[in-house]
């Protein structure tokens, strides 16, 4: 499959369904991204002999937006209730 992607430089990105860990990499001349899970995540342990395990990290999903002139923009959106939003201030002044 990588050779097919290499022959088509217009391929913006390869996106893969949830892998229980968000991962981004370059692959055969394009970007690849895996989506996080809407449940638990696989523990990030980069040792070759690492045991498989999961952690109750926040569930999330990816939102993709296509903008002419920019291309594909991907955002990670976490699932749940979190404090905020809080406005940014600089020197006591609200930044708009």
pLDDT in tens, 49-87: 999 999 999 999 999 999 999 989 999 999 999 999 999
Tens digits of per-residue pLDDT, 9-52? 889 899 998 789 999 999 999 999 999 999 999 999 999 999 99
Q: Is residue 90 part of a domain?
A: no
With respect to residue 87, please indicate whether it lies within any of the assigned structural domains. Answer: no
pLDDT at 91: 85
Mean pLDDT of the chain: 92
Inside any domain, residue 31: yes
Say if CB 60 and CB 80 are below 8 A apart. no
94 falls within a domain: no
Q: Is 91 a domain residue?
A: no
Model-level pTM?
A: 0.76
Q: Which residues pair with 53 in a beta bridge?
A: none
The 10 Å Cβ neighbour count of residue 65 is 10
Other beta carbons less than 10 A from residue 41's beta carbon: 19
Is residue 85 in a domain? no
Choose among 6, 14, 58: nearest CA to 33.
14
């Amino acid at each position: 499959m990588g050779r097919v992607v290499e022959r088509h430089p217009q391929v913006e990105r390869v996106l893969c369904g949830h892998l229980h860990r968000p991962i981004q990499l370059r692959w055969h001349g394009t970007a690849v991204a895996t989506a996080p899970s809407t449940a638990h995540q696989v523990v990030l342990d980069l040792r070759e002999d690492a045991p498989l395990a999961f952690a109750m990290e926040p569930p999330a999903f990816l939102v993709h937006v296509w903008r002419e002139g920019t291309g594909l923009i991907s955002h990670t959106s976490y699932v749940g209730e979190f404090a905020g939003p809080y406005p940014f201030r600089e020197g006591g002044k609200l930044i708009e």
